[in-house]
């Protein structure tokens, strides 16, 4: 470690120009690399190892039509939408949809339009009564017509229309504050026209965004009616611009605030022979040098991120929303290095040393502490590599390089620039050393020094703080909720977010939710499995948040499609039904289908000797488009996968219960050796949340043990006192657990942003405690009395700790003003973490160091 700091000191003092040139060359390289970065990725989770998440990728491999259709929802809201104005808005919606670019890709049934919604009864009345007109109606007459038309519709159509009205729908009064319309989009056709799924991934969201914007214009034509659109394609259509703009604003605010705080910390009080102009010039030069170094480290970090990413080394993924907080993080952490270096360098100058000796002494003292802190902090952030979430791994790697670059620049670039400037002043004898000799006189140093009464007389307070914070923090950690919502990364006032909130509040997440059940096995074409699937679907009829029409679960499956083939179709409303297809019936019965012995779905079961394999192959031959979306026939001619699409309305709040209900309903299918996985966006979100929670505990244990092991090895090599590493890391446990305690008290859940706090808390806490431990070691070489040594330590290093805490608080505190909820919460979490870092380093660690030093005799203390 000393060899490293000596090398840096030699480079900065003997070859400052060469050092600066090397830094500038590297800056040019990393600057170029950062310009080659890929666009921001708004996806989250990557390829994760849970059945629910893997099922989504498998569906696309198994079924040609999986994801072939998607739903776009139109939401109409107002004081009451079942009015004449509400229906006029409905007619305008139909016109906008019919003339939109996406209209040619919409799916419609014969005799029906592409737009299906809650005004179905009125559309039904208009279709069969040419004299029906709303132009001369008032709202009361319109409501009566709606009720009358609804009563004449088949029960399943009535159920469908009422399901598209909000939870406060009053059937007697015919009032509702919101209604839904459903548009089905043929995504497979879009993919075909635009060169595959990659083209559809771009073009469909673009067309959906355009349609949504056109629909929203309808609202201006009515006083109490609002029209908006929603689909997950709209979320994908958000290219991350709002997110990046938010990050840019937060970064700018953090930079300006830290600029002000650093100006206060670096300000030198004018005195005789060192007036305000000279004082301000020195303050400004230290300020600009520190901030410039931090900006360079951020640029280097972004450059190395590109170099490690896709298209180059492919070690990490494309930039993601988690990694975008790294620059803000580096401002808060990097400024700590600049404060400690500048404070110690000024102290050395104030003691009368030359510029060269001041630089060497600073690097050999603070430099070792900074290097130790950096390496231990990197270990903390690299704890994210054990996370199953690729975004966390990338975040840990990227920030680790950023922190390393910040150290290298503070240890080389800063002293090189400072040496060049101060050597000129030294030759002119214009350095006022008295101005730099005020170390220990500041209010912050005096406050920190006053805390030495605890290790001197009140040691039990430190022990109580350590045990109390750690234990209560662990209890809070075990009770934290884990929440992951993609919309958290969109501003709270985003129209899409507002629309989703309406869907969640009024419709339980919206009518367009489809939950897919993937079945996998060695051979699914057996009577036992076929019949068990029918029973499973029937079992779901009583489950909450499963849409049921009549007595049947709304689903797309082999048995549902088979039932639709058998159902007689009306030629025209009121006409006798068509005769059943006897050839189809006899053919199905020849495969063992028990059409004559069962009712409803049970009539589609097969006998124990039925030939299900031939049945499925026959169905694929008759209608490959329909049954190919439900059955997968492998290259060996065996049915090894099947999917069942169930219409649900659980949303995010009811998705966990829905998942349990599905697995319970399909238990008998599972008992037959079939792998069952239920998946939809909310279920995948829950899987990601569970992984976040699990990875947080893994990262916590890994980070603390790794940091402790690192310090144990260092202090064993350097001092033959390995237990000093354990003593130093104990307060970090209190910092991390104190952070969890704060999250529990503030009711802040774990999410993709706050889940990085293990690395952040260690990144903040380790430098604090290492600076105290290293300065204590130095003090013991001059004063063998541990209490006197810790008092001296707190009077000198304490001020820098307070200054570092205040600047870091200022940088991260600005996150609380973000319009993105995870960043608001992260700002609160970091403020709590910094507070506990101060408590641990000033009120807990000193006592532990005194106890450790007292354990050894004074002769041992002097040898330190």
The predicted structure's pLDDT at residue 580: 66
Out of 72-81, 154-163, 253-262, least confident range: 154-163
Q: What are phi and psi of 389, to 5 degrees?
A: -90, 115
Q: What is the rounded distance in angstroms from the CA atom of residue 99 to the CA atom of residue 579?
A: 39
DSSP conformation letters of 61-107: HH-TTTTSEEEEEEEEEES-SSSHHHHHHHHHHHHHHHHSGGGGGEE
What pLDDT is recorded for position 402? 94
Lowest mean pLDDT among 79-83, 102-106, 366-370: 366-370
Q: What is the DSSP string of 650-704?
A: -TTTSHHHHHHHHHHHTHHHHHTT-EEEEE-HHHHHHHHHHHHHHHHHHHHHHHH
What is the structure's pLDDT at 489?
61
The pLDDT of 150-174, averaged and rounded, is: 85
- What pLDDT does residue 487 have? 65
CB-based contacts of 440: which residues, under 8 Å, 6+ apart? 446, 449, 795, 796, 799
| CA atoms within a 13 Å half-sphere pointing along the CA-CB vector of 531 | 16
In the structure, what pLDDT confidence band is assigned to residue 437 with cuts at 50, 70 and 90? low
List, for residues 543-569, the tens digit of each pLDDT value.
988 988 777 898 989 999 998 888 655
272 vs 624: which has the higher pLDDT: 624
The two three-digit tokens of residue 486, written as one number: 């993609």
Joined tokens for residue 851: 């106890």
Beta strands (DSSP E) in 361-475 are: none
Tell me how far the alpha carbon of residue 691 is from its chain's centroid.
12
Confidence category of residue 572, pLDDT binned at 50, 70, 90:
very low
How many whole angstroms from its chain centre is CA 491? 14
How far is Cα 646 from Cα 206, in angstroms, rounded to an integer? 27
How does pLDDT run across 776-794, given as a tens digit for each residue? Answer: 988 888 888 888 989 888 8
The residue written with tokens 């004299």 in the block is 131
Choose among 587, 593, 576, 533: nearest CA to 557. 533
Rounded to an integer, what is the distance from CA 350 to the centroid of its chain?
Answer: 48
497 with 487: CB under 8 angstroms? yes
Q: What residues contact 150, with CB distance under 8 A and at least 6 apart?
A: 121, 158, 161, 162
Assign 659 a pLDDT band (cuts: 50, 70, 90).
very high
Round to whole Å and give the CA distance between 373 and 404: 10
pLDDT band of 235, cuts 50, 70, 90: low
> And the tokens for 632?
């997968």
What is the maximum span of the chain, computed from C-alpha positions, in angstroms? 111
Hey, CA dihedral for 200, 202, 203, 204, is it positive or negative? positive
CB of 632 closer than 8 Å to CB of 616: no
Which pLDDT belongs to residue 683? 85
Q: What is the mean pLDDT of residues 737-742?
A: 91
- In this prediction, residue 297 has a pLDDT band, given cuts at 50, 70 and 90, of very high
Q: What are the Cα distances from residue 670, in Å, to 62, 522, 664, 676?
A: 20, 13, 10, 6
Predicted confidence (pLDDT) at residue 773 exceeds the cutoff of 60: yes
The mean per-residue pLDDT over the stretch 223-251 comes to: 76
Q: How far apart are CA 549 and CA 291, in angstroms?
A: 65
Q: By mean pLDDT, which of 80-84, 108-112, 572-576, 650-654 is the weakest?
A: 572-576
Half-sphere exposure of 497 (CA within 13 A, CB side): 15
Task: Render the burial of 763-789: b for 16+ CB within 10 Å, e for the rest.
Answer: bbbbbbbbbbbbbbbbbbeeebbbbeb
Structural contact between residues 632 and 642, judged by C-beta atoms closer than 8 angstroms: yes
Higher pLDDT, 256 or 513: 256
Q: Where is average pLDDT lowest: 84-88, 720-724, 854-858?
A: 854-858
Compute the distance between CA of residue 183 and CA of residue 413 in angstroms, rounded to an integer: 60
**Nearest in space to 630 (alpha carbons), one of 539, 544, 563:** 563
Higher pLDDT, 121 or 8: 121
Of 306-310, 331-335, 589-593, 720-724, where does mean pLDDT reach its minimum?
331-335
At residue 66, the pLDDT reads: 46
Q: Residue 614: is its pLDDT beyond 90?
A: yes
Q: How far is it, in rounded angstroms, from Cα 145 to Cα 142?
A: 5
Q: What is the mean pLDDT of residues 396-416?
A: 93
CB 402 within 8 A of CB 39: no
3-state secondary structure 757-811: HHHHHHHHHHHHHHHHHHHHHHHHHHCCCHHHHHHHHHHHHHHHHHHHHHHHHHH
Token duo for residue 702: 């890994």
Structural domains in the chain, CATH included, are: 2-42+239-317+328-428+442-488+686-862 (1.20.1640.10), 51-237 (no CATH), 514-565+581-679 (no CATH)
pLDDT at 198: 65
Q: Which residue has the higher pLDDT, 284 or 336?
A: 284
Structure tokens at 108: 């419609």
In this prediction the pTM is 0.73
- Residues 708-722 have a mean pLDDT of 87
Q: Which residues pair with 577 in a beta bridge?
A: 570
- SS3 (DSSP) at 415: helix
pLDDT of residue 708: 86
Residues near 747 by beta carbon (within 8 Å), at least 6 away in sequence: none
Of the pLDDT bands very low, low, confident and very high (cuts 50, 70, 90), residue 604 is: very high
Q: Please report which helix (H) or strand (E) contains residue 227, including its range.
A: strand 225-230
Model pLDDT for residues 15-46, shown as the tens digit of each residue: 899 999 999 999 999 999 999 988 776 665 55
- The phi and psi torsions of 273 (rounded to 5 degrees) equal 85, -5
Confidence band (pLDDT; 50, 70, 90) for 7?
A: confident
- String of DSSP letters for 817-828: G-SSHHHHHHHH
Task: Please state, rounded to an integer, the average pLDDT across all residues of the chain.
Answer: 84
pLDDT of residue 392: 79
Runs of H (alpha helix) within 230-325: 232-237, 241-266, 276-308
72: β partners: 183
* Residue 65: predicted pLDDT: 47
**Of 529, 525, 558, 526, nearest in space to 639 by CA:** 525
List the structure tokens of 400. 């680790």
**What is the per-residue pLDDT across 46-93, written as a single tens digit (0 to 9) for each?**
556 678 878 877 887 787 544 456 788 999 999 999 999 999 999 999
d(CA 415, CA 362): 9
C-alpha distances in Å from residue 760, one per residue of 347, 712, 843: 29, 21, 21
Beta bridge partners of 632: 641
- The pLDDT assigned to 439 comes to 46
**Local confidence band at 802 (pLDDT 50, 70, 90 cut-offs):** confident
Model confidence at 486, in pLDDT bands (50, 70, 90)? low
> In terms of Cα–Cα distance, which of 363, 368, 336 is closest to 348?
363
Tokens representing residue 9 in the block: 């000191």
First to last CA, the chain: 16
Q: Across residues 213-222, what is the average pLDDT?
A: 94
CA nearest to 184, candidates 236, 235, 108: 108
pLDDT of residue 492: 63
Q: Is the pLDDT of residue 574 over 50?
A: no
Residue with structure tokens 């820098």?
Answer: 800
| Residue tagged 């990725």 (tokens) | 41
Residue 753 has pLDDT above 60, yes or no: yes
pLDDT greater at residue 9 or residue 599: 599
- Res 49: pLDDT: 67
Residue 749: DSSP 8-state: P
Range 187-193 average pLDDT: 81
Q: How confident is the model at residue 112 (pLDDT cuts 50, 70, 90)?
A: low
Give the pLDDT score at 407.
92
Q: What is the pLDDT of residue 191?
A: 78
Across residues 529-539, what is the average pLDDT?
A: 96
């Amino acid at each position: 470690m000393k060899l490293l700091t000596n090398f840096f000191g030699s480079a900065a003092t003997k070859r400052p120009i060469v050092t600066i040139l090397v830094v500038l060359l590297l800056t040019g390289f990393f600057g170029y690399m950062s310009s080659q970065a890929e666009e921001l990725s708004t996806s989250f989770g990557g390829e994760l190892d849970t059945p629910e998440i893997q099922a989504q990728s498998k569906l696309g491999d198994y079924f040609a039509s999986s994801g072939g259709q998607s739903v776009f929802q139109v939401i109409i809201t107002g004081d009451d939408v079942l009015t004449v104005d509400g229906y006029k808005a409905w007619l305008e919606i139909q016109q906008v949809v019919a003339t939109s670019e996406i209209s040619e890709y919409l799916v419609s049934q014969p005799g029906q339009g592409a737009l299906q919604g809650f005004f179905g009864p009125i559309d039904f009345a208009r279709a069969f009564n040419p004299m029906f007109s709303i132009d001369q109606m008032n709202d009361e007459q319109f409501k009566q017509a709606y009720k009358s038309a609804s009563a004449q519709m088949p029960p399943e159509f009535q159920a469908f229309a009422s399901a598209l009205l909000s939870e406060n729908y009053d059937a007697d009064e015919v009032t509702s504050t919101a209604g839904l319309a459903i548009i089905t989009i043929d995504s497979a056709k879009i993919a075909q026209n635009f060169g595959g799924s990659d083209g559809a991934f771009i073009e469909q969201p673009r067309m959906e965004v355009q349609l949504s914007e056109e629909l929203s214009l309808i609202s201006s034509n009515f006083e109490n009616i609002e029209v908006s659109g929603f689909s997950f394609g709209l979320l994908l259509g958000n290219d991350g611009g709002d997110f990046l703009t938010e990050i840019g604003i937060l970064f700018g605010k953090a930079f300006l605030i830290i600029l002000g705080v650093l100006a206060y910390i670096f300000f030198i009080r004018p005195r005789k022979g060192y007036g305000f102009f000279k004082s301000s010039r020195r303050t400004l030069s230290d300020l600009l040098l520190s901030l410039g170094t931090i900006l360079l480290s951020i640029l280097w970090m972004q450059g190395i991120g590109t170099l490690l990413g896709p298209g180059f080394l492919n070690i990490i993924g494309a930039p993601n929303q988690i990694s975008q907080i790294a620059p803000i993080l580096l401002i808060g952490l990097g400024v700590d290095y600049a404060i400690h270096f500048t404070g110690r360098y000024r102290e050395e100058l104030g003691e009368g040393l030359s510029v060269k000796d001041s630089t060497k002494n600073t690097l050999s003292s603070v430099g070792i502490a900074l290097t130790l802190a950096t390496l231990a902090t990197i270990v903390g952030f690299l704890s994210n590599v054990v996370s199953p979430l690729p975004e966390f791994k990338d975040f840990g790697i990227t920030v680790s390089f950023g922190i390393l670059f910040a150290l290298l620049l503070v240890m080389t670039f800063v002293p090189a620039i400072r040496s060049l400037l101060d050597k000129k002043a030294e030759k002119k004898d214009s350095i006022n050393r008295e101005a730099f000799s005020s170390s220990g006189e500041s209010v912050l140093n005096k406050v920190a020094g006053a805390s030495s009464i605890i290790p001197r007389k009140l040691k039990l307070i430190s022990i109580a703080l350590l045990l109390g914070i750690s234990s209560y923090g662990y209890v809070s950690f075990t009770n934290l909720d884990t929440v992951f919502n993609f919309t958290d990364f969109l501003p709270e006032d985003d129209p899409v977010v507002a629309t989703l909130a309406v869907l969640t509040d009024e419709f339980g997440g919206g009518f367009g939710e489809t939950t897919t059940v993937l079945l996998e096995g060695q051979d699914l074409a057996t009577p036992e499995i076929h019949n068990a699937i029918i029973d499973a679907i029937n079992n779901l009829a009583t489950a909450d948040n499963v849409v049921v029409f009549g007595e049947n679960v709304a689903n797309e499956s082999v048995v549902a499609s088979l039932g639709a083939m058998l159902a007689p179709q009306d030629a025209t409303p009121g006409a006798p039904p068509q005769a059943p297809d006897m050839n189809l019936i006899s053919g199905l019965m020849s495969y063992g289908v028990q059409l004559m012995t069962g009712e409803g779905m049970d009539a589609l079961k097969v006998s124990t000797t039925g030939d299900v394999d031939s049945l499925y192959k026959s169905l694929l031959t008759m209608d490959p488009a329909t049954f190919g979306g439900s059955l997968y026939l492998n290259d060996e001619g065996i049915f090894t996968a099947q999917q069942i699409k169930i219409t649900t309305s659980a949303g995010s709040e009811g998705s966990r219960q829905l998942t349990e209900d599905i697995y319970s309903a399909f238990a008998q299918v599972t008992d037959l050796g079939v792998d069952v996985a239920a998946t939809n966006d909310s279920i995948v979100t829950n899987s990601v949340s569970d992984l976040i929670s699990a990875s947080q505990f893994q990262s916590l244990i890994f980070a603390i043990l790794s940091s402790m092991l690192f310090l144990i090895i260092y202090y064993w090599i350097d001092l033959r006192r390995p237990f000093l590493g354990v003593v130093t890391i104990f307060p970090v446990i209190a910092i991390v657990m104190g952070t969890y305690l704060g999250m529990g008290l503030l009711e802040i859940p774990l999410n993709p942003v706050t889940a990085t706090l293990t690395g952040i808390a260690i990144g903040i806490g380790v430098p604090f405690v290492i600076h105290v431990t290293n300065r204590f070691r130095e003090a013991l070489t001059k004063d063998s009395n541990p209490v006197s040594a810790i008092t001296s330590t707190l009077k000198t290093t304490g001020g820098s700790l307070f200054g570092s805490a205040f600047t870091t608080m200022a940088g991260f505190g600005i996150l609380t003003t973000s319009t993105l909820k995870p960043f608001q919460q992260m700002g609160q979490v970091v403020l709590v973490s910094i507070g506990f870092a101060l408590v641990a380093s000033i009120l807990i660690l000193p006592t532990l160091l005194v106890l450790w030093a007292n354990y050894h005799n004074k002769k041992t203390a002097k040898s330190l």
